[in-house]
Amino acid sequence: MTAAPVGHDDYALSRVPQAARYPWWSVATQRFGQISGLSQFLLGATLGFGLPFWQAFLAFTLGAVVLELVSIAVGIIGQREGLSTSVLSRWTGFGQGGAAVVALVIGFSATGWFGVQSQLAGKSLAKILGGLPVWGWSMLFGLLVTLIVTYGFRWMAWTAYITVPAFLIMAGVSVVIELRRHDLGGLLTDAAPGPHLTLVQAVTLVAGQFMVGAVITPDMTRFNRSPMDVVKQTVVGITLGEWVIGSVGVLLAHALHSKDIATIVTSSVGWVGVLVIVVAALKVNDWNLYVSSLGLANFVKTVFGVQVHRAWVSIVVGVVGSALGAAGILSRYTDFLNLLAVAFPPIPAIMVAEYYVARRWRGQLTAAGTALPATSPMWVPATLVIWLLAALFGKYVKFGLPSVNALIAAFVLYLVADRIGLLRGFGSHATAPEATNTAPQQRV
């Protein structure tokens, strides 16, 4: 491992060697933890407040199918190439400049999610333990997560081994206690307690809730050993996370006539409910911060030519994200999801279209072997135009599902642009030698 003042760089700007990869179940535990957190409870409660149970279940099913297809397709690219999303995008349609834009968008979005989870934990801790205001607990929680992420994938794996079972046990206890007070048959057939949501709105929320997770799948799957490992962990993680955790959130919203997740979870079991929220936020929030640090490290290197250690980026972003949580960005939660639902789908669609079909730059990745290609296109203007047009199509076209519309539009437009010769790189950027970890981390 290269000498560093703190933490582990985790191959932020280079390929992950085979010796540093993990068994599929190790990565799958983190994938399930990433999906099955309090944000999923919150999403389930939001849907349950506006839809009957079976309509909400249908929305989760449709959204899960979209997410699984996208995550598997992009995840296999990351596994094969051993590169994070922001670095990989240099040779999957975006070029050096476009990759910097992708990295910045991912970094800011993941930092926002980090703030959402920090506020959830801070609100619960303040309610039960007191002593500090919500913003104080939010800051403390965010700084704890920052410490874990500073030391990279290995610490995050051990965090998942502890927090995922703890979350499932404690959440199960709180759910059973609460639901025993109600008629389950009635909860399955009752009308929604709040303002009505349409099925299209609901599926959009489901797809948007984890679309950032789908886009940054290579950040996780670069540590997988085979494409089949990617398939297994994606199907298990997303299916269970969406159906089990999301459906429970729907039932609790019907039972308590509320979509306030802190109220829902803590109303029945007090301090155990607080632990559920804190543990759930912990196992999700480390990945929010981790992918943000990868994206922003790539952005700084690309734009300013300065290679910054990923661990230091984690520290800076962790402090900023904790402050966002303390400032209360959770109040914009639904608007945030709707924005992500149309802004992010074009990214994986373009990467998939380029890598599997157009293949204009795939040869460079293959020829480079275990290193990075010597050069990358500086800009691919057509890609940026396609990204914008697809996002606008997803947002303003009224039929179908916005996230799916944006995905399909980006995929089709990219292939059309390839066929008529518009996919041209302008300028060439020489890839500087990247600092690598010469000794792989101990696998767990």
State if pTM tops 0.85. yes
Does the residue 381 lie in any domain?
A: no
Q: Is residue 63 part of a domain?
A: yes
**Closest to 15 measured CA to CA, from 443, 440, 444, 442:** 440
**Which element (helix H / strand E) includes 351?**
helix 346-352
Write down how long the chain is. 444
User: What pLDDT is stored for residue 390 in this prediction?
Assistant: 95
Q: Is the dihedral of CA 323, 109, 340, 113 positive or negative?
A: negative
Report the CATH number that the domain containing residue 317 is assigned in CATH: 1.10.4160.10
Q: What is the pLDDT of residue 131?
A: 85
- Asked whether residue 11 is assigned to any structural domain, the reply reads no
In this predicted structure, what is the pLDDT of residue 267? 56
**Half-sphere exposure of 187 toward its Cβ, with a 13 Å CA cutoff?**
22
Q: Is residue 420 part of a domain?
A: no
Residue 377 phi/psi, 5° resolution?
-65, 145
* Of residues 287, 32, 299, the one with CA closest to residue 146: 287
pLDDT of residue 414: 98
Residue 97 lies in a domain: yes
pLDDT of residue 442: 43
DSSP 6: S
66 versus 141: the higher-pLDDT residue is: 141
Asked if the structure places residue 408 within a domain, the reply is no
**The domain containing residue 171 runs over which residues?**
27-346
Please check whether residue 83 lies inside any domain of the structure. yes
pLDDT confidence band for 433 (50 / 70 / 90): low
The per-residue pLDDT for range 252-302, each reduced to its tens digit, is 888 888 777 656 665 555 666 667 777 777 888 898 899 999 999 999 988
Alpha carbon distance 278, 300 (integer Å): 32
Q: What is the mean pLDDT of the chain?
A: 84
Q: How many domains does the chain have?
A: 1
Q: What is the dihedral of CA 100, 101, 105, 107, to 10 degrees?
A: 10
